[in-house]
Structure 1
């Protein structure tokens, strides 16, 4: 999940769905509420920790945090030096994840189609929004954490891409790379606040309207596929916080068009290999998840 969350356009929530821990994650977070005080009073701290599945949450979020710390520099380098293989890998990952989630839908109804279309339109509209440029103040970093974490646990909506849209991706990534504690802790506090609030809503939807929610989440994933298409032509650029030019608006191209317009190799066979690798990983994770859950 941490590796996926570093990449703008890819959601850690997708990984949670693939590995079969999504429901456990939401339910564990949902149980962190004022009722926990009652559990502590009546049954003790040990029972309260078991009630919120603390061991699971510590393992998961420690893994996410360590992954972000260790992979931030690598992913930043790959996005610049080897963008096509990297985007191809995540494109294959999202594509097979769509099929993975659709297989979990028990009853198919015509009303679910509306949810699917709504999810596609919402995700696609987010991907074409013009980025903002918020200053990295304490309140803005706190807000960014709360909004980004909500996106991170939604399959298809990338928390990193939301950070990119509000102009906070570069400051947060820079803070992580240089291990600046103040912005990191502020961002994590925002994540905790957003997660505690949003998990209740999403958990309720999955309990009472599971199939419709899954179809809508699938639409969100499909709607983000154009964003992570490997072959792009950059139309406009922006200057980041380091004075470097980075892509702002991009147009998707076919591999042959990419070679003709950019005079760069399309790396088509490598891209296909990376997509197939991602599909293979998902299928393996799916088998492991079925055995353990």
Structure 2
């Protein structure tokens, strides 16, 4: 899927700059975008998790940083033209453009079918995505590097508690008015950047999951445009924060993200009441356990393919 060099985490040249792999395979990036788009329609699964597993997380954060910096220079200066050109040249367009096309296409095509599958087979779908997310946790653990000691274990524990808290929010039902959609979109888009947090789950907790997917499925451009505008606002804030954390506190950030992903698995427990309360496994537990294991193995296979592809590219 890629012809990138090894992961960026071991190659940063200075505290202020991330030295990143370059994913120059447009088809691979298109597929990555499609995967992110599909999982963004599923409650409990984060597009940031897919970005982490497929090796583009740091590079995507860096691209987002330069895009938002270009917009800021255009609006505030100084040297607007030169500043915008400088930041736009630093963006890995061979990653960003296919990724955005893949995401948009997948969301438009998958929103309706995924919504119907989640509604018709909730336990099976939760079991599948529980396995996929659980299999992904090893990625930030590996990227954190080295054995964890007291401080890392404390950060991991805080991450677990944070993930549990966010996925234990009581469900409510809000009218999808413009001033309700705006903050919901800004918060939900954080899942695009933060592995373990699901924008769809947050929308579900607010009662806006079905209205949003219905708007996408029916091509309600007014709803989509308003949602997209405020999603961009939220994205600017969270990208800036994550870039700073990855630049100055990469190890600690990966440890916390691993904890958040573990805590967030609560939302994917297959046996739940309609209100989201956890229940004991039912008689179908062998089948669902098998689906969970299949999900874990699928992610590990993807990680293995990604690692071998990177290794081949590094030998060239």
Tell me the TM-score normalised to structure 1 length: 0.84
User: CA offset at residue 156 of structure 1?
Assistant: 0.4
Question: Residue 19 of structure 1 contacts residue 289 of structure 1 at CA under 8 Å; is this kept in 2?
Answer: no
Written as runs of structure 1 = structure 2, the 5 A alignment for 1:1-293 is: 1-31=36-66, 32-33=68-69, 34-35=72-73, 41-42=81-82, 45=85, 47-107=86-146, 108-230=148-270, 232-234=271-273, 247-254=274-281, 258-259=282-283, 267-268=287-288, 270-271=290-291, 272-288=293-309, 291=312
User: CA offset at residue 38 of structure 1?
Assistant: 5.1
Question: Residue 91 of structure 1 contacts residue 229 of structure 1 at CA under 8 Å; is this kept in 2?
Answer: yes
Q: 1:193 to 1:280 in 2, by over 3 A?
A: same
User: CA offset at residue 270 of structure 1?
Assistant: 4.8
- Number of residue equivalences: 272
User: CA offset at residue 205 of structure 1?
Assistant: 0.7
Q: 1:186 to 1:223 in 2, by over 3 A?
A: same
Bigger shift: residues 112-121 or 265-274: 265-274
User: CA offset at residue 285 of structure 1?
Assistant: 3.6
Equivalents in 1 of 2:286, 2:79: separation in Å?
58
Q: 1:290 to 1:67 in 2, by over 3 A?
A: farther
Equivalents in 2 of 1:55, 1:95: separation in Å?
30
Equivalents in 2 of 1:7, 1:289: separation in Å?
29
Question: Residue 151 of structure 1 contacts residue 162 of structure 1 at CA under 8 Å; is this kept in 2?
Answer: no
Question: Residue 140 of structure 2 contacts residue 254 of structure 2 at CA under 8 Å; is this kept in 1?
Answer: yes
User: CA offset at residue 92 of structure 1?
Assistant: 1.8
Question: Residue 89 of structure 1 contacts residue 277 of structure 1 at CA under 8 Å; is this kept in 2?
Answer: no
User: CA offset at residue 252 of structure 1?
Assistant: 3.5
Question: Residue 2 of structure 1 contacts residue 65 of structure 1 at CA under 8 Å; is this kept in 2?
Answer: yes
Equivalents in 1 of 2:83, 2:256: separation in Å?
39
Gaps spanning 5+ residues in structure 1: where?
A: 235-246
Equivalents in 1 of 2:168, 2:149: separation in Å?
30
For residues 126-165 of structure 1, what are the alpha-carbon distances to aligned partners after superposition, in whole Å with 9 as ceiling and x for unaligned?
2122123222111221222111111331000111111112
Equivalents in 2 of 1:17, 1:215: separation in Å?
13
User: CA offset at residue 229 of structure 1?
Assistant: 2.2
Equivalents in 2 of 1:267, 1:28: separation in Å?
42
Equivalents in 2 of 1:224, 1:162: separation in Å?
11
Question: Residue 106 of structure 1 contacts residue 211 of structure 1 at CA under 8 Å; is this kept in 2?
Answer: yes
Bigger shift: residues 73-82 or 273-282: 273-282
